[in-house]
């Protein structure tokens, strides 16, 4: 994603002479120099610096009106109206350098249109309607010439053809493929001094100053002669002054400018008068390196000490939404790389692992016309849900939480009704962390019910005791009988919990807890098992676990207790239920020892499906040790 955002493209810059404009050529950037013969007009952005001088008197009024209108539109409006192409001819002609001087085919009109952006490339394009759909649209709209310079396949019935094919109508390029034609054209442009190969980036500048109070002040002093110097290291950091009123001002000046005493400083070299810079840095200034400062927040002499960096290393795991992938995370990497080059940090990358969590969505309801109905107008008691107003049956769909749909879930309300542990447990139970998934209010009580059941495993509701007898003593005893079954179940549960941390699918850990609880409820726990179960539950239901932990007689928090280890001796039982297949289809199941040999497995399998095998010839037998047996028959 970051690669796309940086948006490296390879192409060429080409200069077009404009009639009547000596010296000032119109420079364009293109990724398709091979299509130059098909450039039948040019378009410049309304903000382009040559618009004024190129425009002829006859066209001046129309062009000025168009430029005016474009500048009044916000970026949003300009892209909003993207469907229809608008533009005005400047009255000027340029010469397409693919053709000889004086060749009528090379005389092409120059237009102004807002589909060309001033902020990308050179703010001007050569329009090749035959190979670019936007140019095709514009040409159709205004009756401009269209020449194909790439031969589309016979089956092609579209408009602009952007695919690969042999060059046509292109003089010395005819017959060449796209890549070869690009290279030849660039070589020729270079030879004639009217163009060169060029790499372009989509990455945009990002303004780094704000006229707000909250933010880091720039450690910069303005001197009387208009120059500026850095605040000396010994005077760092520059801290914000205390201000009564730190709201942004109406005229756009920085709030800090009103802190008159603070602004006054002196030139560190000469002692003459100086003024502090009153702009502050934006929020992302801090977000670009906070993870470093967190390693050593009190260090007074550097961003962080080498010892702190050594100890904490670089960030093991960064969990964030994908919305951060191209802005915050890209710029944090930039900063880190600069700090690496400056010798401040020892690593080239800030984060060892990035994990994008999914987005929580919510159910929304659609009526027959496809309109989304706000949640408060839906009767959810009905099945299927119906509109409260009309009684119409509604289709349940998944949508982003939004104010207009009134399907936003407020965590406070959920915690108020079910408790924080239930809220947390439900979120973990919903599905894998990476997936986006819908919040279903109906499912939440299930998590609450599980916690209540787990509570009763430890606390007898009919007794006055803080804990069921025996659960406070966690001395290890070799389990036997029913306790052995529980021991196996517990270790399998702990194994699944550990696995869930590795895969970030905590839902399977919660499922493991639920399954374990079902067995343990009827058989009971010993103290050691109770202790391990509670410790494993701690990350999932922290308050629940801490309460039980203290009732077990521990002084400290369960969150400081050791993580329960899996004892592999108890992971697997001696026997397993082996599936027997014929031609890949399940035909029987039979209990077999885990240690059974291939022959033993096959014999058990044959016995289990003997009646089905009568009169059939076994062509092949597949035995997967510890797994299954499959007979291929004729």
Looking only at residues 380 through 399 of this chain, which bind RNA when binding is defined by CB under 7 A? 383, 396, 398-399
Q: Does residue 445 belong to the site contacting RNA (CB under 7 A)?
A: yes
User: Residues 228 to 287: which contact RNA by CB under 7 A?
Assistant: none
User: Residues 416 to 435: which contact RNA by CB under 7 A?
Assistant: 429-432, 435
Helix (H) or strand (E) holding 261: helix 260-263
91-99, 151-159, 167-175, 439-447 -> range binding RNA (CB under 7 A): 439-447
Give whichever of 24 and 398 is closer to RNA, judged by the CB atom: 398
**Percentage helix, strand, coil for the chain under 3-state DSSP, each rounded to 5:** 35, 20, 45
261-269, 329-337, 345-353, 579-587 -> range binding RNA (CB under 7 A): 579-587
Q: Crossing angle of helices 420-429/506-523, nearest 10°?
A: 120
By CB under 7 A, name the one of 440, 466, 551, 590 that touches RNA: 440
Q: Does residue 354 belong to the site contacting RNA (CB under 7 A)?
A: no
Residue 356 to residue 324: CA distance in whole angstroms? 9
Who's near 313: CB < 8 A, 6+ residues apart?
none
Residue 30 to residue 10: CA distance in whole angstroms? 8
Q: How far is the CB of 102 from RNA (least distance, A)?
A: 26
Query: CA end-to-end span of the chain, whole Å?
Result: 53
CB-CB contact of 108 with 39 (8 Å): yes
Q: Does residue 65 belong to the site contacting RNA (CB under 7 A)?
A: no
What's the DSSP call for residue 377? G
Who's near 23: CB < 8 A, 6+ residues apart?
none
Give whichever of 459 and 561 is closer to RNA, judged by the CB atom: 459
- Provide the mask over 77-106, with x wherever binding to RNA is found by CB under 7 A and - wherever it is not: -xx-xx-xxx--------------------
Q: Does residue 510 belong to the site contacting RNA (CB under 7 A)?
A: yes
Q: How far is the CB of 202 from RNA (least distance, A)?
A: 4
CB-CB contact of 248 with 212 (8 Å): yes
289-297, 415-423, 557-565, 621-629 -> range binding RNA (CB under 7 A): 621-629
97-105, 478-486, 544-552, 582-590 -> range binding RNA (CB under 7 A): 582-590
By CB under 7 A, name the one of 283, 469, 624, 625 that touches RNA: 624
216, two tokens: 């880091």
- Provide the mask over 594-613, with x wherever binding to RNA is found by CB under 7 A and - wherever it is not: ------------------x-
- Provide the mask over 165-204, with x wherever binding to RNA is found by CB under 7 A and - wherever it is not: -----------------------------------x-x--
By CB under 7 A, name the one of 280, 407, 505, 526 that touches RNA: 505
Give whichever of 59 and 86 is closer to RNA, judged by the CB atom: 86
473, two tokens: 């003593």
Give whichever of 215 and 385 is closer to RNA, judged by the CB atom: 385
Give whichever of 97 and 217 is closer to RNA, judged by the CB atom: 97
Closest among 392, 356, 34 to 182, alpha carbons compared: 34
Q: How far is the CB of 55 from RNA (least distance, A)?
A: 19
Beta bridge pairs of residue 276: 221
Residue with tokens 């490339």: 121
Q: How far is the CB of 518 from RNA (least distance, A)?
A: 6
Q: How far is the CB of 375 from RNA (least distance, A)?
A: 15
**What is the total count of residues that contact RNA (CB under 7 A)?**
89
Give whichever of 92 and 582 is closer to RNA, judged by the CB atom: 582
CB-CB contact of 59 with 90 (8 Å): yes
Closest among 138, 137, 130 to 37, alpha carbons compared: 130
By CB under 7 A, name the one of 371, 403, 569, 585 that touches RNA: 585
Burial of residue 445, with CB atoms counted within 10 A of its CB: 0-12 exposed, 13-18 middle, 19 or more buried: middle
**How do beta strands 9-18 and 195-200 pair?**
antiparallel
CB-CB contact of 254 with 211 (8 Å): yes
Q: Which residues of 322-342 are buried (b: 16+ CB within 10 A; e: fewer)?
A: eeebbebbbbbbebbeebeee
Give whichever of 244 and 381 is closer to RNA, judged by the CB atom: 381
In degrees and rounded to multiples of 5, residue 58 shows phi and psi of -65, -30
By CB under 7 A, name the one of 438, 454, 533, 604 that touches RNA: 438
Residue 395 to residue 385: CA distance in whole angstroms? 8
Q: How far is the CB of 551 from RNA (least distance, A)?
A: 21
Distance of CA 323 to the CA centre of its chain: 4
Residue 531 to residue 525: CA distance in whole angstroms? 10
Residue with tokens 């998944």: 398
Distance of CA 143 to the CA centre of its chain: 43
Give whichever of 390 and 521 is closer to RNA, judged by the CB atom: 521
CB-CB contact of 128 with 32 (8 Å): yes
Q: Does residue 378 belong to the site contacting RNA (CB under 7 A)?
A: no
Q: How far is the CB of 589 from RNA (least distance, A)?
A: 5
Q: Give 335-344's long-range contacts (Cβ < 8 A, gap of 24+).
A: 335/288, 335/289, 336/289, 336/292, 339/289, 339/292, 339/303, 344/302, 344/303
Q: Does residue 1 belong to the site contacting RNA (CB under 7 A)?
A: yes
Q: How far is the CB of 33 from RNA (least distance, A)?
A: 8
Q: Does residue 403 belong to the site contacting RNA (CB under 7 A)?
A: no
Q: How far is the CB of 584 from RNA (least distance, A)?
A: 3
In degrees and rounded to multiples of 5, residue 626 shows phi and psi of 75, 5
Q: Can you tell me whether residue 365 is helix, strand or coil? A: strand
5, two tokens: 């955002």
Q: Does residue 579 belong to the site contacting RNA (CB under 7 A)?
A: yes
26-34, 146-154, 294-302, 592-600 -> range binding RNA (CB under 7 A): 26-34
Q: Does residue 315 belong to the site contacting RNA (CB under 7 A)?
A: no
- Provide the mask over 107-146, with x wherever binding to RNA is found by CB under 7 A and - wherever it is not: -------xxxx-xxxxx-x--x---x-x------------
By CB under 7 A, name the one of 14, 15, 16, 32 that touches RNA: 32
Give whichever of 329 and 345 is closer to RNA, judged by the CB atom: 329
By CB under 7 A, name the one of 323, 349, 416, 600 that touches RNA: 323
User: Residues 515 to 574: which contact RNA by CB under 7 A?
Assistant: 515, 518, 521-522
């Amino acid at each position: 994603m970051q690669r796309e955002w940086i948006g490296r493209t390879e192409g060429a810059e080409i200069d077009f002479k404009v009639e009547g404009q000596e010296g000032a050529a119109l420079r364009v950037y293109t990724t398709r120099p091979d299509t130059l013969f098909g450039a039948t007009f040019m378009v410049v952005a309304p903000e382009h610096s040559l618009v004024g001088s190129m425009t002829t008197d006859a066209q001046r009024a129309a062009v000025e009106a168009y430029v005016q209108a474009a500048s009044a539109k916000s970026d949003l409006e300009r892209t909003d109206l993207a469907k229809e192409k608008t533009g005005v001819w400047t009255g000027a002609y340029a010469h397409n350098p693919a053709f000889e001087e004086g060749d009528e085919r090379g005389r092409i009109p120059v237009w102004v249109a807002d589909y060309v952006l001033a902020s990308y490339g050179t703010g001007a394009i050569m329009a090749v309607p035959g190979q670019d759909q936007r140019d095709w649209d514009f040409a159709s709209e205004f009756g401009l010439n269209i020449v194909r310079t790439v031969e589309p396949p016979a089956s092609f019935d579209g408009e602009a053809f952007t695919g690969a094919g042999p060059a046509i109508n292109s003089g010395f390029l005819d017959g060449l493929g796209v890549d070869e034609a690009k290279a030849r054209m660039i070589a020729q442009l270079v030879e004639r001094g009217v163009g060169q190969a060029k790499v372009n980036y989509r990455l945009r500048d990002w303004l780094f100053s704000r006229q707000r109070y909250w933010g880091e002040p720039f450690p910069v002093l303005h001197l009387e002669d208009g120059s500026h110097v850095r605040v000396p290291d010994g005077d760092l950091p520059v801290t914000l002054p205390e201000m009564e009123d730190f709201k942004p001002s109406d005229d756009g000046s920085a709030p800090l400018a009103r802190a008159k005493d603070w602004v006054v400083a002196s030139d560190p070299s000469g002692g003459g008068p100086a003024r502090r810079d009153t702009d502050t840095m934006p929020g992302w200034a801090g977000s670009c390196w906070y993870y470093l400062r967190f390693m050593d927040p009190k260090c007074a002499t550097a961003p962080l000490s080498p010892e702190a960096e050594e100890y904490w290393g670089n960030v093991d795991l960064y969990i964030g939404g994908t919305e951060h992938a191209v802005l915050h995370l890209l710029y944090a990497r930039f900063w880190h790389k600069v700090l690496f080059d400056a010798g401040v940090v020892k690593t080239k990358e800030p984060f060892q692992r990035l994990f994008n969590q999914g987005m929580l969505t919510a159910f929304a309801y659609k009526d027959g016309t496809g309109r989304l109905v706000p949640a408060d107008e839906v009767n959810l008691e009905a099945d299927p849900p119906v509109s409260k107003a009309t009684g119409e049956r509604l289709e349940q769909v998944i949508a982003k939480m939004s104010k207009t749909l009134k399907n936003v879930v407020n965590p406070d309300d959920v915690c108020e009704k079910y408790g924080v542990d239930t809220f947390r447990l439900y979120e973990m139970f919903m599905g894998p962390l990476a997936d986006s998934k819908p919040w279903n209010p109906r499912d939440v009580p299930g998590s609450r019910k599980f916690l209540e059941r787990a509570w009763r495993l430890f606390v007898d509701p009919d007794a006055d005791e803080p804990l069921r007898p025996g659960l406070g003593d966690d001395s290890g005893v070799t389990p036997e009988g029913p306790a052995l079954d529980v021991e196996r179940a517990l270790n399998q549960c702990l194994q699944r919990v550990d696995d869930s941390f590795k895969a970030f699918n905590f839902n399977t850990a919660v499922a493991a807890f639920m399954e374990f609880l079902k067995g343990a409820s009827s058989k009971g726990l010993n103290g050691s098992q109770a202790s391990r179960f509670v410790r494993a539950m701690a990350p999932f239901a922290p308050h629940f676990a801490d309460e039980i932990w203290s009732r077990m007689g521990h002084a400290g928090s369960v969150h400081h207790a050791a993580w329960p280890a899996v004892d592999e001796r108890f992971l697997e039982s001696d026997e397993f239920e082996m599936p027997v297949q014929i031609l890949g289809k399940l035909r029987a199941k039979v209990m077999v020892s885990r240690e059974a040999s291939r022959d033993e497995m096959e014999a058990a399998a044959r016995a289990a499906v003997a009646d089905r095998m009568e009169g059939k010839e076994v062509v092949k037998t597949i035995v997967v040790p510890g797994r299954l047996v499959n007979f291929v028959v004729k």
